Structure 1
Amino acid sequence: MLSYQHIFHAGNLADVHKHALLAWMLDYLTRKDKPVSYIETHGGRALYDLDAEAARKTGEAARGIAQARDWFAADDPYMRSLTETVAAHGPDAYPGSPLIAVQRLRDSDTLTVAELHPQEHNALELALPTVTCRRMDGFDMAHGLVPPTPRRGLMLIDPSFEVKEDYDTIPGHIRKYVRAWNVGIIALWYPVLRSDAHTSMLKTLQKDHQVALRHEVRFPPARPGHGMIGSGLFVIRPPFGLAERAANLKTHFDRLK
């Protein structure tokens, strides 16, 4: 299935949760003068126009980054990416995770991003001309890359979950990534759903990776009847300090009504 396009949801509260913690982890990794590998399995188009008709149609950004921007100090890694994106692309521009990675990493680091959707992949390549952007299944790409060189680094797994079988197959993929890449940080984003479709996957992941960090935030549904009521990150080998950073971020979500 290739129907999903993130522009309808760009800048929503799930993006705020995911991108704020991703930017923090990348900032953590670059504190040492050692090169980093970054792998992303489902890249999207990397750069979004929140004034586009598709973005305005759902109103998710208006209830997301538009109200959350003041949660972050000017020197926060996520806010630095937001500021850099607006400066380069205009006031309605929003960075997807591949662009955040480009902004927060260095020339000595290695980035590889997959996107299967043809239009999204074309946009991804236009947004990130210096990055290796592969048009292929992201899970397959990651199996072919791990362990990467350099070995120090992070993988972000961020599927749309429009393929419902992903809930069943993702734990198996991650099990293999963890075995092959024994020092890599592996972070999975997942939606928190009214239907609880995500819960069986999480039970398996927690059984397999008992010291991983599972962090979830809840927020009001984007519109009446919308099935996503929160956002989750499951991080294997979480960097020191991530749990505290995530807990601080959650305090802002807890105030939403």
Structure 2
Amino acid sequence: MLSYQHIYHAGNLADVHKHALLAWMLSYLTRKDKPLSYLETHAGRALYDLAAAEATKTGEAAQGIARVADWFAADDPYMQVMHQTSETHGINAYPGSPLVADLLLRDGDRITLAELHPQERAALQHTLPTAQVHQTDGFALAHAKLPPTPRRGLMLIDPSYEVKSDYDDIPRHIRKYARAWNVGIIALWYPILTSNAHASMLKTLANNHPDALRSEVRFPPARTGHGMVGSGLFVIRPPFGLAERAANLKTRFDQLK
């Protein structure tokens, strides 16, 4: 489906959770002087204007990054990315996950992105002209590209879940990805919904990958009737220290009213 555009939700509390942990993982990986691959299956446009009408319409950024930026020290990888984005694109700019990766990775690292929506893909390529950007189904691209070169690295799977069959299909995809790329970090983001639509998927994932890290945070709905009340990240082969980082972030979320 091509109706989803993340500008309506950019900078919300789920983005804070996801991007803070993604930035930490990429910062950790780049400490070692070896090249790595970054893949993303549902990339979006990479750069968002939080003053745009779409973003202000939902108010999610106001309840998100605008509210909790002081959680992060100036030298935190997530905050470093935020500062770089503001300096380059203005104070209302917010980095999507491809831009988070681009700002933290090095010249010898490789970024491969999939985005099916034609306008989002065009904006993505404009923002990241040196990345490999494919207008194709992200799940199929991952099957075709794994294992990547360099073999060391991370893949983020971040679908909109507008296609309801994703909840059933994702565990099968990830099981194949983990076998094909037996050294890669595979991170799946998922929404925590009042409908509990994610529960069966997570049960299967946990059974298939018992050593994975499951980071979940809860927060008040962004507006009355909004069904998302939390954010989850399921990480296969989590880097050392991620569990502690996720636990510290959860403590912050637990303090939200």
SS across alignment from 1:68: helix
2:256 matched residue in structure 1: 256
1:186 matched residue in structure 2: 186
How well do the aligned residues superpose, as a CA RMSD in angstroms? 0.4
Aligned partners of 1:173, 1:182: CA distance in 2, in Å?
Answer: 14
| Matched residue type, 1:14 | A
Aligned partners of 2:40, 2:98: CA distance in 1, in Å?
Answer: 7
Aligned partners of 1:110, 1:90: CA distance in 2, in Å?
Answer: 26
Instruction: Say whether 1:146 aligns with 2:142.
Output: no
SS across alignment from 1:2: coil
Which string of whole-angstrom CA distances, capped at 9 and with x for unpartnered residues, describes residues 60-83 of structure 1? 000000011100000000000000
1:79 matched residue in structure 2: 79
Which string of whole-angstrom CA distances, capped at 9 and with x for unpartnered residues, describes residues 123-173 of structure 1? 101111111110000000000110011110000000000101000000000
Aligned partners of 1:43, 1:154: CA distance in 2, in Å?
Answer: 14
Where does 1:1-257 land on structure 2 (aligned, <5 Å)? 1-257=1-257
| 1:207 CA displacement | 0.2
SS across alignment from 1:62: helix
Aligned partners of 2:125, 2:5: CA distance in 1, in Å?
Answer: 16
| 1:251 CA displacement | 1.1
| 1:112 CA displacement | 0.2
Aligned partners of 1:148, 1:131: CA distance in 2, in Å?
Answer: 14
Aligned partners of 2:225, 2:136: CA distance in 1, in Å?
Answer: 33
Aligned partners of 1:162, 1:103: CA distance in 2, in Å?
Answer: 29
Which stretches of structure 1, 4 residues or longer, exceed 6 Å deviation after superposition?
A: none
Unaligned runs of 5+ in 1: none
| 1:201 CA displacement | 0.1
Unaligned runs of 5+ in 2: none
What number of residue pairs does the alignment pair up?
A: 257
Aligned partners of 1:176, 1:254: CA distance in 2, in Å?
Answer: 35
Identity of aligned residues (%): 74
| Matched residue type, 1:162 | E
Aligned partners of 2:193, 2:246: CA distance in 1, in Å?
Answer: 20
TM-score, normalised relative to structure 1: 1.00
Aligned partners of 1:114, 1:190: CA distance in 2, in Å?
Answer: 18
Aligned partners of 1:164, 1:51: CA distance in 2, in Å?
Answer: 31
| Matched residue type, 1:21 | L
| 1:194 CA displacement | 0.3
Aligned partners of 1:128, 1:37: CA distance in 2, in Å?
Answer: 15
Aligned partners of 1:204, 1:168: CA distance in 2, in Å?
Answer: 9
TM-score, normalised relative to structure 2: 1.00
| Matched residue type, 1:244 | E
Which string of whole-angstrom CA distances, capped at 9 and with x for unpartnered residues, describes residues 46-73 of structure 1? 0000000000000000000001110000
| Matched residue type, 2:231 | S
